[in-house]
Structure 1
Amino acid sequence: MTLTTLPVGAITLAVATPAVTSRSPQEVKVDAAPAASEGVKVDLSAAGRAAASSSSKDADIEQSGLPASVQKLLKAIRELQRQIAELTLQIQQALKDPSLTDEERKSKAAGLQAVMSMLQAQISTSSDDLSTLMNRLKSSNDDKVKAGMLIMAKM
């Protein structure tokens, strides 16, 4: 069994092949048929994982058929939701951080909570902007429901 890794841009391909009698890149002779468990393993670099997740995390919005301006606001709201989720984790970690004193924990959590409040206010503003935009575009009720479902889908 031979494992060959090939960097391809942001991805690294790891290909499992059966035993080989010649290692020349021009000529490779295989001794045995590949086993059913052999195959291709793909490892993404950090940049590749980020690109893959950014393209897929809003795929439902991009495929919704809603106008581009509505999609842009929906993506902005989603990003704010992601930031709030991250802040929630940071607050939980701050409250459990044994390297901080009780006062430092409370202070750090309060600072993060203030940032979270600003993000929540921004979601409210963006949601109002979305409603105004969809009314201005004379969006159908179905499109308004679809937009609402897309906002709620990742909460």
Structure 2
Amino acid sequence: MTAIGTLNPGNSGVTSSPGTAQTAAGDEPDAEASLLATPTLVEGVKVSLSGAAMAKTFSAGGENSDIEDSGLPENVQQLLKMIRKLQKEIAEKKARMAAVMADKTLTNEAKVNMLAALRGAIAALNTGLISANLALSKVMDQSGLSAEQNLKLGSLLTKN
């Protein structure tokens, strides 16, 4: 007795692409495996940048070119770069917190856990930022910067 039209777990009878059709029950197992092994393309997250953001991203010197071109001592420049990096990371964590709070798919418990982790990360980053600011203050006192250099340093600190 022959069974016609039976389905086993590996053969649903549905083709993976419109141009491919299975013909006979005697198809090779390799052909079936190749159809099942075809990767599926999944679209990811799209990010769009404004013209100003694109210009800033692709500027010749990068995001710290103003610090490098300031003429300040190397140790001051390194501290300014560190401060900017910490400020940027803090802003990213705060944005992530806002996204978690606005996410309707998360349970309250998941939100609380994620927010607690983000608050801890922000606290650690704030500690690092305080340390970097204290180190910068100490270096400024020891290096004897001119009034012009102090103004330049202040403007670089306030720039984001």
Scaled by the length of structure 1, the TM-score of the pair is: 0.62
Q: Is the 8 A contact 1:95 1:106 kept in 2?
A: no
- Note if 1:85 corresponds to 2:68: no
Residue 107 (structure 1) aligned to one of 113, 123, 138: 113
Residue correspondence of structure 1 range 1-155 to structure 2 within 5 A: 52=58, 55-154=61-160
What do residues 91-117 of structure 1 show as CA deviations (whole Å, max 9, x unaligned)?
A: 111111222111211221121011111
Which amino acid counterpart does residue 102 of structure 1 have in structure 2? Answer: N
Secondary structure at the residue paired with 1:57?
coil
Secondary structure at the residue paired with 2:87?
helix
Q: CA RMSD in A?
A: 2.2
Distance (Å, rounded) in 2 between the aligned partners of 1:152 and 1:54: 22
Question: In the superposition, relative to structure 1, how do residues 132 and 54 fare at CA in structure 2: closer, same or farther (>3 Å)?
Answer: farther
Q: Which structure features the higher share of strand residues? A: 1
Distance (Å, rounded) in 2 between the aligned partners of 1:151 and 1:73: 10
Identity %: 32
Distance (Å, rounded) in 2 between the aligned partners of 1:107 and 1:54: 41
Q: Which runs of 5+ in 2 are unaligned?
A: 1-54
Task: Kindly state the Cα deviation for residue 144 of structure 1 after the two structures are TM-superposed.
Answer: 2.2
**Which structure would you say has the larger RCO, counting Cα contacts within 8 Å and 6 or more residues apart?**
2
Distance (Å, rounded) in 2 between the aligned partners of 1:59 and 1:67: 14
Question: In the superposition, relative to structure 1, how do residues 65 and 135 fare at CA in structure 2: closer, same or farther (>3 Å)?
Answer: same
- Give every structure 1 segment of 4 or more consecutive aligned residues whose post-TM-superposition deviation is greater than 3 Å: 51-55
What do residues 108-149 of structure 1 show as CA deviations (whole Å, max 9, x unaligned)?
A: 112101111111121111011011112111112332232122
Distance (Å, rounded) in 2 between the aligned partners of 1:54 and 1:118: 32
Over alpha carbons, which structure has the higher Rg?
Answer: 2
Q: Say how many residue pairs are matched.
A: 106
What do residues 28-47 of structure 1 show as CA deviations (whole Å, max 9, x unaligned)?
A: xxxxxxxxxxxxxxxxxxxx
Task: Kindly state the Cα deviation for residue 68 of structure 1 after the two structures are TM-superposed.
Answer: 1.1
Q: Which runs of 5+ in 1 are unaligned?
A: 1-48
